[in-house]
Amino acid sequence: MTNKSSFWNTTETSAGTLPSPAESLAGRDLCSIADFSTIEVEAVMKLAHAVKAEPGKYRWALDAKQMVMFFEKASLRTRLTFEAAINTLGGNAIFVDQTQSPLGERESLADMARNLERWVSVIVLRTYAHETITEMAQYAACPVINALSDLEHPCQALADFLTLEERFGSAKELKFTYVGDGNNVCHSLMLIAAQLGAHCTVGSPKNYAPKADIVAQARAIANETGGSIALVNDPIVAVKDADAVYTDVCTSMGFEHEVTKRAPIFKPYQVNEQLMANAAPHAVFMHCLPAHRNAEVTDAILDGPQSVVFEQAENRMHAQKALLLLLLGGTNNVR
């Protein structure tokens, strides 16, 4: 196992102060949003705004850096935004399709990690088991990024709150509501909402709430930032006066066998005009995509004036640019 630099292991520098986020994040992994401190999350967001505003400044910041992506699940936005991100920062993307062969099956993750760290600068994983990502991170000396697991989707959450900051100026004290399955996306959204001081309400059916340990973790963070985490079963109560209403598919990848069972359970949680009418008049609608049209959300909402779903999709690239720059030390190479 190779040790990596860690913000949490650094108490004092020679100057007697903690390192900047650019210093503390260099060489780190992103397995969970909770891996980063509040200051570090804010640094990623600040840099994402800057990269989006002036992309030319960062054109060669990751010159000759190599990024490998191993995906066990199909992807449109995650793959293309990561490839576009590093390519436009001067680096290169290598894609490995693992949809037919789960990682760790042909060769141990430890052995893979010890090979990969000698060839590439960063490893991006889209997997089923979250443990695949944490184990790779344990053994690889280079940064490992969670591009989706059964537990979290941190890159999506970064892009989503980048979108909210663009719309509202800040996430602090924002009323953010997620309705639907308490899944991996929901977990990361709760954690980043807590990090940024938002008031997050999750409305989900009984037995489909987010994991209790993630809720407890998010609440502990929110206690420090002035945010809050609330769980309810009634979707109307959840959406009441919300600034942002977010939903995801009712059946995530890996749970396709539950489609018939879940459909009637989640029907009351469909985001339609009637449900959105309970949110604040200025509220935005959000979805990580792909959407099952007229299932978890109606066409009228998805294509309507409140929808920011395509802004979210675009911001995947900008948020991931910022993440790659910070993890790979590219902020020192800005022109």
180 and 132 together in one domain: no
Q: How many domains does the chain divide into?
A: 2
Contact 296, 245 (CB under 8 A): no
Structural domain includes residue 98: yes
Contact 67, 321 (CB under 8 A): no
Q: Which residues are catalytic?
A: 126, 153, 156, 248, 288, 316
pLDDT score, position 16: 52
Q: Kindly report, residue by residue over 86-119, the tens digit of the pLDDT.
A: 999 999 999 999 999 999 999 999 999 999 999 9
205 and 321 together in one domain: no
Cβ within 8 Å of residue 48, ≥6 positions away: 158, 162, 315, 318, 319, 321, 322
SS3 for 287-325, per residue?
Answer: ECCCCCECCCECHHHHCCCCECHHHHHHHHHHHHHHHHH
270 and 160 together in one domain: yes
**Enclosing domain of residue 175:** 156-313
Q: Kindly report, residue by residue over 2-45, the tens digit of the pLDDT.
A: 445 433 334 344 445 668 998 999 999 999 999 999 999 999 99
170 and 29 together in one domain: no
222 and 124 together in one domain: no
End-to-end, the C-alpha distance of the chain in Å comes to 36
147 and 218 together in one domain: no
Residues of the chain with confidence (pLDDT) below 50:
1-3, 5-15
78 and 134 together in one domain: yes
Nearest-angstrom CA–CA distance, 311 and 320:
14
Nearest-angstrom CA–CA distance, 259 and 252:
9
58 and 30 together in one domain: yes
Q: Which two tokens stand for residue 325?
A: 């720059």
Structural domain includes residue 1: no
129 and 162 together in one domain: no
Structural domain includes residue 228: yes
CA 259, 253, 269, 202 dihedral sign is: positive
CATH number at residue 291: 3.40.50.1370
Structural domain includes residue 2: no
Nearest-angstrom CA–CA distance, 21 and 329:
11
